[in-house]
């Protein structure tokens, strides 16, 4: 899906109380999530908001994660974001359409569904006009359920987390919004990250969030279709063009595979993703 105003495919979290890292994060990633929520300790919230105001960054590439609606920090976060001039915020623990409607006007919102209510209400949340994208989170979800771990020992998500991931992706797609895949917390395991990011890209996520600069090139590579995928897509679309005007040519055969309208759209998506990455490489 097209990400619209959302930078990607690699978004990097940066604690708001570390303004020395803002420029470094922007240099490393496609976009940065300046974090006023979990990345900042309770005693440093005021310091973080002051840093946000004192350290300008490119508003086209910045998302500010505020504290959740209903928390004591939420109004002060919004006041700081408004004063700093940012127009794209991330709302963690989003649970109701009303929470998104309350932000309508000044802000486009990345709605982060990471609680049982947020997952169950994902479709209603995604439908809010000011929702620019949907994201899901596993760790807060499992904590809210009373679980002990979102993943199996081999790194695979448990079924409840996989369900949440799919629910948010489908809700975003139904509303015509891009979806952001959750973070991979095992920073040294770049192979695991690569596999998960490749699955995210193949499944239809537009962006994946990162928690360390070393993860950014892995995510970018995963979202770039490989040569074999691009060659297949070109063969498919060449066959479509060659068959244009033939009677009864609704389905084709390419490389022994039946190709019909859904696979043609998949081929178009592969070439669109390849072209997008090529344009970014030239800039």
pTM score of the predicted model:
0.84
In the chain, the domains with their CATH numbers are 10-223 (3.20.20.60), 227-282 (no CATH)
Average pLDDT of every residue of the chain: 90
Question: What is the rounded distance in angstroms from the CA atom of residue 31 to the CA atom of residue 67?
Answer: 20
| For residues 51-79, average pLDDT | 97
Of 275 and 29, more confident: 29
Percent of the chain beyond pLDDT 70? 93
| For residues 135-150, average pLDDT | 96
Q: What is the pLDDT of residues 162-195, one digit of tens each?
A: 999 999 999 999 999 999 999 999 999 999 999 9
Confidence (pLDDT) at 201: 95
Q: What is the 3-state secondary structure (H, E, C) of 53-82?
A: HHCCCCHHHEEEECCCCCCCCHHHHHHHHH
Confidence of residue 137 (pLDDT cuts 50, 70, 90): very high
Which residue, chain included where needed, has tokens 């081929």? Answer: 267
Residue 282 has pLDDT above 50, yes or no: no
Confidence (pLDDT) at 246: 55
Question: What is the rounded distance in angstroms from the CA atom of residue 171 to the CA atom of residue 208?
Answer: 17
Count Cβ atoms below 10 Å from residue 281 Cβ, excluding itself: 9
Residue 238 is given by DSSP the state H
Residue 71 tokens read as 């928390």
Specify burial of residue 147 (Cβ count, 10 A radius: 0-12, 13-18, 19+): middle
Cis omega (within 30 of 0) on the bond before 96? Answer: no
Maximum Cα–Cα distance across the chain: 71
Question: What is the rounded distance in angstroms from the CA atom of residue 176 to the CA atom of residue 233?
Answer: 24
Residue 219 has pLDDT above 60, yes or no: yes
Confidence (pLDDT) at 280: 62
Cis omega (within 30 of 0) on the bond before 9? Answer: yes
Q: How many helices (H) and strands (E) does the chain have?
A: 12, 10
Percent of the chain that is helix, strand, coil (3-state, to 5) = 50, 15, 35
Of 263 and 100, more confident: 100
Which residue, chain included where needed, has tokens 């448990």? Answer: 158
């Amino acid at each position: 899906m097209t990400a619209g105003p959302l930078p990607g495919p690699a978004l990097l979290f940066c604690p708001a109380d570390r303004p020395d890292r803002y420029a470094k994060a922007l240099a490393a990633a496609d976009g940065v999530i300046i974090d006023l929520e979990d990345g900042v300790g309770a005693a440093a919230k005021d310091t973080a908001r002051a840093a946000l105001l004192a350290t300008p960054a490119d508003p086209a590439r910045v998302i500010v994660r505020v504290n959740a609606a209903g928390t004591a920090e939420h109004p002060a976060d919004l006041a700081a974001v408004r004063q700093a001039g940012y127009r794209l915020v991330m709302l963690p623990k989003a649970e109701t359409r009303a929470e998104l409607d309350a932000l309508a006007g000044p802000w486009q919102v990345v709605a982060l569904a990471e609680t049982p209510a947020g997952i169950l209400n994902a479709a209603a949340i995604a439908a809010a006009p000011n929702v620019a994208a949907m994201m899901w989170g596993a760790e807060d979800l499992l904590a809210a359920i009373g679980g002990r771990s979102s993943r199996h020992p081999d790194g695979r998500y448990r079924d409840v987390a996989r369900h949440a991931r799919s629910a948010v992706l489908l809700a975003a797609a139904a509303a015509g919004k891009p979806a952001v895949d959750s973070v991979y917390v095992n920073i040294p395991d770049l192979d695991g990250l690569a596999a998960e990011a490749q699955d995210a890209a193949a499944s239809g996520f537009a962006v994946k969030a990162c928690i360390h600069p070393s993860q950014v090139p892995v995510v970018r590579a995963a979202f770039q279709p490989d040569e074999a995928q691009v060659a297949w897509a070109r063969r498919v679309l060449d066959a479509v063009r060659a068959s244009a005007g033939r009677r009864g040519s609704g389905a084709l055969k390419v490389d022994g595979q039946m190709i019909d309208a859904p696979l043609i759209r998949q081929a178009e998506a592969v070439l669109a993703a390849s072209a997008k990455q090529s344009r970014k490489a030239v800039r």
